[in-house]
Copies of this chain bind each other. A is one copy, B any other.
Amino acid sequence: MSEELQKIFYPKSIAIIGASSKKKTLGHELVRNLLNFGYEGKIFPVNPKAEFVHSIKAYKSLADIHDDIDLVIIMVAKQFVIQAIEDCHRKKIKSVILITAGFKETGEEGEELEEQLIKKINEYKIRLVGPNCMGLINTKPGVNMNCTFVQGEPHRGGIGFISQSGALGAAVLKIIKKFDIGLSQFISIGNKADISENTILEYWKNNSDIKVITLYLESLSDSRKFMTIAKETSKIKPIIAIKAAKTTAGMKAASSHTGALASTDTIVNAIFEQSGVIRVDSTEQMFDLAKSFDRTFIPMGNRLGILTNAGGPAILTVDEAEKSGLIIPTLEENTIKSISEFASPEASLHNPVDLLPAANAEAYGKATEIMLQDNNIDALIVILGPPLMYDTIEIGKYVCEAANKFNKTAIFVFMSQDENISELSKLLEVHPPIFNSPESAARVIGEMHKYKLIKEKISPEESIESIIKETSKQKVSDILNRHKGKGEFYLDFDDIYEILSAYELPIVESLTAKDTKTSVDYAEKVGFPVVIKSVGKELLHKSDAGGVILDIKNKDELIQAENKVISNLKEKNLDKKLEGFLIQPYIKGGIETILGVIKDKSAGHLIMFGLGGVLVEIFKDVKFRLHPLSSADIKSLYQDIKGYEILKGVRGNLPVNFKYLEENLTKLSNLINDFPEFTEIDFNPFILKPEKENCKILDARMKIRI
């Protein structure tokens, strides 16, 4: 496979079927761009009517070319595409970029054409980019290929960029020089009929030309595969992604809390978090971050130094830095002393160091060097406010040259002087990232530091082992077998109780009584105070209908309570559906959490954990992780919610039993592994306390499709 991709990204010769001598056509523009950027390989325009295209001899058909061809670009009208693929096959060509649009993005007819196309390329073992894409760029000297129809000279660097949207790709290409975004390779993947983001990620994973990967996606081609590849890749180099969400609404028809909380967006977040992908909201954020990974070092810690010639911008930088998890440490005494030797007497020498507008290039350069040597800081932002009397470019040059001497994170900010960014970057080929706003610089350093921490935590593709006995599995298997062929439905409480007991998931002791005498016996058995809950296949929302009464202290109260429930149900005409009462001990205190599972159509099972109770709908303080869980996933499920602070104990409370929580997460993951038939599970509330034996699931719902 890699050979075909190699020929796509590093071709030694390219044939363009649909190259055109007619100005203002895509087939004309693309060839011109190849020529203008100085492609170092052979170009063969193919056009039955033209003799030459941009002074290059044109061929009537692919068959007429007798040289070796690495890559074919197809940009003929859609009705001729299949023919062109046939031609490629005849020439034994395996690498194709299909620019032409009009496929599945345009409706039914196009969809059929795309299916036909996919059949052909599978048959011919052709690897194909597109259709409906805008091509590819590789800036590597010796390749020098701008094989797109977007004008301009791509600016060199270490960024790989995959775009599912042509327009967004074009927009980025328009600004890369201006904002000093150094591109290594760019690919527009269009409809992803064959080559998808996963193919490219895998290909770029060990490609040393690519230092950092950026992605614009509208859909994930295969979320499981994405997660596997992204996990391996982001251990090696950062991946930054925009995933545009087409809908923010929760999954429809989900009646469990877990289901209601699982939106397309939360699932994408889970996938990205689990695989170490950094999610951003805009192309601006994406490339600010990417160019920093490309041009400077990942900070070893979160201590930020700031050098400036004006107070206001420095204050904004400190604000943003603190929001981004950075701290502004005190500088070493030596640093302050050294800077004081040349700074103006009115300069402020404590971090942020303010040299005042009087600072010239030499002072800026010296201060940059001195600060980068300070052991109290891990990263440095140098801000140059709009100049009054000095040559800004010269100051920039001194700062960048100073920064180049150290292996420490550094960003230089030309405040509000965009035009200087490209000028300086032209002047000094190697330089730290240059920004136009100091707040973005602070945000970026915060993100880079977060990546450092995430990278260390990404778990290998191991999933936790099963801790369930064979006999337990057999018990659950027996229960589920009883329901074979029923379709998708909610299990009744008796089944749930048996299943959870078999897997030692701590469902609260529960006895179902059909009459008052048994109720009293059972209550005495579990011990007062007790809770009673109405039971009936058609009584799903128990508490809404007044079917639950808590804290019943004795026999008399119990009898009263049951009568009360019956009269509540009668009011709502539900009393006929009552089949009995569940008797459970009344559990006081502890922390209400929720533990659940949802099965998403494309991503499969996800496990959710978070704070429960009335809060779950409001604060949505929950995390999702794709099943199967690794041990790192289990930890992040409870450590990455805000409520972790509460679980750890506030106001002198002891922490809940985390070991036991982990054990239960493991057992739930094991259950899904053993029985993928489960489609929705809610343990809500799952009460956590410091003592293992007091942690209890007070209510549970389970849905299966069988």
- Interchain CB contact under 8 A, A164 and B643: no
Interface presence of A694 (CB below 8 A): no
Provide the residues of chain B in CB contact with A313, threshold 8 Å: 165, 167-168, 171
- Interchain CB contact under 8 A, A388 and B26: yes
How many angstroms from the CA of A309 to the CA of B282 in the assembled complex? 19
- Convert A632-664 into 0s and 1s, putting 1 for each residue whose CB lies closer than 8 angstroms to a CB of B: 000000000011011000111000000000000
* Cβ < 8 Å to B, chain A residues 661-683: none
- Interchain CB contact under 8 A, B385 and A439: no
- Interchain CB contact under 8 A, B386 and A315: no
- Interchain CB contact under 8 A, A316 and B244: yes
Provide the residues of chain B in CB contact with A175, threshold 8 Å: 416, 418
Interface presence of A417 (CB below 8 A): yes
Given contacts A312-B216, A652-B543, contact A167 B415 (CB under 8 A): yes
Interface presence of A579 (CB below 8 A): no
How many angstroms from the CA of A318 to the CA of B650 in the assembled complex? 41
Interface presence of A437 (CB below 8 A): yes
Interface presence of A311 (CB below 8 A): yes
- Convert A300-322 into 0s and 1s, putting 1 for each residue whose CB lies closer than 8 angstroms to a CB of B: 00000000011111011011101
- Interchain CB contact under 8 A, A617 and B171: no
Provide the residues of chain B in CB contact with A171, threshold 8 Å: 313, 385-386, 415-416
How many angstroms from the CA of A653 to the CA of B650 in the assembled complex? 28
Interface presence of A580 (CB below 8 A): no
Provide the residues of chain B in CB contact with A244, threshold 8 Å: 312, 315-316, 319
* Cβ < 8 Å to B, chain A residues 152-192: 163-168, 170-175, 178
How many angstroms from the CA of A130 to the CA of B475 in the assembled complex? 82
Provide the residues of chain B in CB contact with A437, threshold 8 Å: 282-284
* Cβ < 8 Å to B, chain A residues 242-290: 242, 244-246, 248, 281-284
Provide the residues of chain B in CB contact with A322, threshold 8 Å: 248
Contact of A166 among B178, B246, B312, B415 (CB under 8 A): B312
- Interchain CB contact under 8 A, B174 and A416: yes
- Convert A85-121 into 0s and 1s, putting 1 for each residue whose CB lies closer than 8 angstroms to a CB of B: 0000000000000000010001000000000000000
Interface presence of A341 (CB below 8 A): no
- Number of copies of this chain that the complex holds: 2
A704 to chain B, nearest CB (A): 25
- Interchain CB contact under 8 A, A346 and B416: no
Given contacts A106-B346, A437-B282, contact A617 B166 (CB under 8 A): no
- Interchain CB contact under 8 A, B218 and A167: no
Return the chain B residue nearest A642 by Cβ: B618
How many angstroms from the CA of A242 to the CA of B150 in the assembled complex? 39
- Interchain CB contact under 8 A, B310 and A166: yes
* Cβ < 8 Å to B, chain A residues 603-642: 614-615, 617-619, 621, 642
A388 to chain B, nearest CB (A): 7
Return the chain B residue nearest A168 by Cβ: B312
* Cβ < 8 Å to B, chain A residues 1-59: 24, 26, 29
Interface presence of A467 (CB below 8 A): no
How many angstroms from the CA of A174 to the CA of B615 in the assembled complex? 48
Provide the residues of chain B in CB contact with A29, threshold 8 Å: 388
- Convert A395-429 into 0s and 1s, putting 1 for each residue whose CB lies closer than 8 angstroms to a CB of B: 00000000000000000000111100000000000
Return the chain B residue nearest A24 by Cβ: B389
Interface presence of A149 (CB below 8 A): yes
- Interchain CB contact under 8 A, B320 and A281: yes
Provide the residues of chain B in CB contact with A650, threshold 8 Å: 614, 617-618
Provide the residues of chain B in CB contact with A615, threshold 8 Å: 615, 646
- Interchain CB contact under 8 A, B310 and A218: no
Q: A167-B311, A167-B313 are in contact. List 13 more A-B contacts (CB 8 A).
A: A150-B388, A164-B312, A165-B313, A167-B312, A173-B386, A216-B312, A244-B315, A244-B316, A282-B439, A544-B651, A614-B650, A617-B650, A619-B619
A-B residue pairs, 3 tightest by C-beta = A165-B312, A167-B310, A167-B385
In the assembled complex, 6 residue pairs joining A and B whose CB atoms fall closer than 8 Å, in A order, are A29-B388, A166-B312, A167-B309, A216-B312, A617-B645, A618-B646
